[in-house]
């Protein structure tokens, strides 16, 4: 029994010790992959130079970081995956305990020299240091990129615009006879994946991602580009609140100012204040829109035309105020002239009265011998003097009434003239008000129809 147990122990321990142990390093040693090996990284990985290297590229949009209209810059954050075949790499997984894939540093193997044509700033984010290699020679490289690219934007319908920005990817060294770029996912699949993984969009709504290929000739060689087109639609709520509605409010205030009296200075100051408020909004808009565009932005036309209409309204108020001040000055001169004539007439009347008083009959001194003979004539003179004084008082009252009547006529004449001035000022304001409302309504209708018009 002891011998049988010992034999069984030897069999079991021998069987367990004969199980093969494998590691990734065994595969690396088998392939002779080292950082100093130039076989795998110096040249394109083909056994025959006539063989074509096919690179499958897949790009998924993860976030829209920024869209800057002023500099026409598009900044997305994308996931890029490249897959190609290295003809020098191949092993049998059965010889290495079923290992069918390994990861190696990217410095050990050749990688396609793909770059983005629209990229204007080098990506400073950390790169993925490893490549993923399969047993049949398929190499996969994944990388996250913050792409700062230029984009030709059409801001004609800002802020109700839709932008299309391209990311064109191609090789800098290898032409189409050496390297061929194919999309790994079609447009619908890439769009669906992008919507599922997207985390940030900001004021932009991602619509779709389209893929196209383009070949161009430079020199004697033909080069290939794979173009990813990102279509985005702006969310206009912020700009509507910040620009469109305030300008409409200021326009409403300017229209309401027509009901302010023209002979007061508040109307002119009110219109100038509203005009300055529009100027501030124009300065803010200037910092957003690019200096050059294919077409003039509708929001710029919207602001400038309303600014011009309000300026025209201000000029009309200045004109009416000037004419009213001119008429008031002429009426004041006429009133002063009438006052001078009235004063001159008063002076003449006073001189006449003084002469009458100097020539009036009076009681003269007589001697005692003559008193008895002239008693009756003296009584008559006294009686006549009393009657004259009563007449004088009546004349004074009559003169005061005439003066009061003249002053009343003068004031009524001035009020009549001012009434005439107010009538023609009201007519001018009414005519301009009708023209102003018609022009503003027509312009606003046209501008909003253009904003809502769908692109063909």
At residue 174, the 3 state secondary structure works out as coil
Confidence class for position 22, pLDDT limits 50, 70, 90: confident
Q: Could you give the domains of the chain?
A: 23-235 (2.70.170.10), 236-352+393-456 (1.20.58.390)
DSSP state of 183: E
| Interval 250-254 mean pLDDT | 91
Question: Beta strands 204-218 and 114-116: pairing type?
Answer: unpaired
| C-alpha distances in Å from residue 178, one per residue of 51, 89, 302, 312 | 7, 19, 54, 68
**Window from 78-92, 97-111, 371-385, 428-442 with minimum mean pLDDT:** 371-385
From the list 71, 296, 59, 74, the residue with the least C-alpha distance to 204 is 74
Q: Give per-residue pLDDT as tens, 346-374.
A: 556 555 555 455 444 443 344 444 444 44
| Contact partners, residue 170, CB within 8 Å, separation at least 6 | 114, 115, 117, 181, 223, 224, 225, 226
Q: What is the mean pLDDT of residues 408-414?
A: 55
Handedness of CA 396, 402, 406, 412 (dihedral sign): positive
| Mean pLDDT score, 150-158 | 89
Task: Give just the sign of the alpha carbon dihedral 318, 324, 328, 334.
Answer: positive
Number of H helices, E strands in the chain: 9, 12
d(CA 415, CA 428): 20
How many CB atoms are closer than 10 A to CB 263? Answer: 14
Of 245 and 6, the structure prediction assigns the larger pLDDT to 245
> Cβ-count burial of 260 within 10 angstroms (0-12 exposed, 13-18 middle, 19+ buried)?
middle
Mean pLDDT of the chain: 79
Q: For 171, list phi and psi in degrees, rounded to 5.
A: -95, 145
* pLDDT for the residue numbered 288: 78
Helices (H), 245-297: 245-256, 266-286
The stretch 247-263 carries a mean pLDDT of: 86
246 contact partners, CB below 8 Å, separation of at least 6? 277, 281
Q: How far is CA 244 from the centre of its chain?
A: 9
Residue ranges in 145-265 assigned as alpha helix (H): 187-197, 237-239, 245-256
Find all residues with CB under 8 Å of 262, minimum gap 6, and list them: 317, 320, 321, 324, 425, 429
Contacts of 156 (CB under 8 A, 6+ apart): 293, 294, 295, 296, 297, 298
What are 85's two structure tokens? 């075949």
Q: How many whole angstroms separate alpha carbon 278 and alpha carbon 44?
A: 63
233 - beta bridge partners? Answer: 162, 205
* Percent above pLDDT 90 for the chain: 32
Residue 128 has pLDDT above 50, yes or no: yes
Q: β-pairing, 179-183 with 53-68?
A: parallel
* pTM, 2 dp: 0.72
Reported confidence tier of residue 333, pLDDT bands at 50, 70, 90: low
SS3 label, residue 156: coil
Is the torsion defined by CA of 45, 49, 51, 55 positive or negative?
A: positive
| Residue-by-residue DSSP string for 313-342 | HHHHHHHHHHHHHHHHHHHHHHHHHHHHHH
- The C-alpha atoms of residue 448 and residue 454 are separated, in whole angstroms, by 12
The answer to whether the beta carbons of residues 228 and 211 sit under 8 Å apart is: yes
What pLDDT does residue 409 have?
59
pLDDT computed for residue 373 by the predictor:
44
Mean pLDDT of 206-211: 94
Q: Which residue reads 């995956």 in tokens?
A: 81
What does the alpha-carbon distance between residue 273 and residue 280 come to, in Å, rounded to a whole number? 11
Rounded alpha-carbon distances, angstroms, from residue 177 to 47, 51, 57, 69, 181? 15, 9, 18, 39, 11
Q: Is omega for the bond preceding 101 within 30 degrees of 0, making it cis?
A: no
pLDDT at position 141: 94
Q: How confident is the model at residue 156 (pLDDT cuts 50, 70, 90)?
A: confident
pLDDT above 90 for 73: yes
Highest mean pLDDT among 173-182, 383-392, 445-454: 173-182
Q: Is 181 helix (H, G, I), strand (E, B) or coil?
A: strand
User: Taking residues 94-101, what's their average pLDDT?
Assistant: 90
Sheet containing 162-171: order of strands: 114-116, 162-171, 221-234, 204-218
State the pLDDT at residue 361.
43
């Amino acid at each position: 029994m002891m011998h049988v147990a010992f034999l069984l122990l030897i069999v079991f321990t021998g069987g367990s010790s004969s199980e093969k142990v494998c590691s990734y390093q065994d595969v690396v040693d088998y392939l002779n992959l080292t950082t100093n090996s130039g076989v795998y990284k110096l040249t394109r990985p083909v056994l025959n130079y006539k063989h074509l290297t096919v690179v499958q590229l897949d790009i998924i949009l993860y976030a829209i970081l920024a869209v800057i209209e002023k500099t026409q810059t598009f900044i997305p954050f994308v996931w890029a995956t490249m897959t190609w075949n290295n003809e020098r790499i191949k092993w049998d997984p059965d010889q290495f305990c079923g290992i069918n894939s390994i990861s190696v540093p990217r410095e050990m193997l050749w990688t396609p020299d793909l770059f983005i044509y629209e990229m204007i700033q080098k990506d400073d984010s950390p790169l993925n240091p490893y490549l993923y290699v399969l047993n049949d020679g398929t190499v996969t490289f994944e990388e996250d990129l913050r792409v700062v690219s230029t984009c030709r934007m059409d801001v004609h319908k800002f802020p109700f615009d839709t932008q299309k920005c391209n990311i064109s990817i191609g090789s800098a060294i290898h032409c189409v006879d050496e390297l061929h770029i194919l999309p790994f996912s079609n447009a619908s699949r890439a769009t669906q994946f992008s919507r599922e993984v997207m985390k940030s969009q900001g004021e932009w709504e991602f619509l779709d991602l389209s893929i196209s290929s383009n070949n161009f000739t430079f020199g004697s060689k033909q080069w290939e580009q794979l173009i990813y087109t990102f279509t985005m639609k702006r969310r206009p709520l912020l700009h509507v609140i910040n620009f469109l509605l305030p300008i409409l409010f200021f326009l409403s205030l300017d229209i309401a100012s027509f009901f302010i009296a023209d002979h007061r200075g508040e109307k002119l100051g009110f219109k100038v204040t509203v005009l300055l408020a529009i100027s501030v909004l124009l300065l803010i808009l200037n910092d957003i829109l690019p200096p050059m565009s294919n077409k003039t932005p509708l929001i710029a036309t919207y602001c400038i035309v309303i600014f011009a209409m309000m300026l025209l309204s201000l000029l009309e108020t200045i004109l009416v105020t000037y004419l009213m001040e001119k008429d008031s000055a002429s009426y004041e001169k006429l009133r002063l002239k009438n006052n001078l004539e009235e004063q001159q007439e008063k002076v003449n009347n006073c001189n006449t009265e003084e002469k009458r008083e100097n020539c009036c009959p009076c009681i003269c001194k007589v001697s005692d011998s003559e008193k008895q003979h002239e008693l009756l004539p003296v009584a008559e003179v006294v009686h006549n003097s009393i009657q004259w004084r009563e007449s004088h008082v009546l004349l004074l009252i009559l003169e005061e009434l005439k003066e009061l009547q003249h002053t009343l006529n003068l004031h009524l004449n001035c009020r009549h003239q001012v009434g005439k001035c107010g009538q023609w000022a009201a007519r001018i304001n009414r005519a301009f008000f009708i023209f102003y409302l018609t022009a503003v309504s027509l312009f606003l209708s046209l501008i909003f129809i253009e904003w809502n018009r769908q692109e063909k």
